[in-house]
Homo-oligomer: A and B are copies of this chain.
């Protein structure tokens, strides 16, 4: 499984955000939704070897974490409004249980943040996308159980950055230009897909 942990510094845990103005009312949940889209979806389908966690650090009930499991997920559509509607429903029905509670169609919510995610991860090799670090193309990658930590449009807060460093995450850069988080995920997936293709060719 290739797993992605997307951390939204201000992304809201409150389902009252407006679908008509996501950027202004949801703490830029739109940034995270685009990451979900790129991490999970390919042309006409889902990546069944992918799993996404969203860590929501904004809003009244923060932190909360959402998990979408590509192995079993359904109804994940590519447009932002559909994805936002999905997250709205998940947040509205979430309980205060600290672990991940399955809600529907491969989606779960936990009343916890990065710690709840790390407890859920089990065995993994951590990587973190960071600008001006080691070039992804030059870096060995664990293709079996990698976990990629990705920041939102304002990057990681210091606490999150420290926590990821404690995990021993290898920093990777996707290229010389600062691109949006979801574009970085597209570039990362492309490198993984190429290595998968090479290893399946033997």
Chain A residues within 8 Å of B, Cβ to Cβ:
19-23, 30-31, 34, 37-38, 41-44, 77-82, 153, 174-180, 182-183, 186-187, 189-190, 193-194, 196-197
Contacts and interface: CB of A to CB of B under 8 A. Distances in A.
Nearest to A20: B81
Number of copies: 2
A43 B31 CA distance: 11
Contacts of A23: 77-79, 82
A197 B174 CA distance: 13
A160 to B, nearest CB: 18
A161 B190 CA distance: 25
B180 A42 contact: yes
Contacts of A44: 153, 178
Nearest to A30: B79
Contacts of A187: 186-187, 190
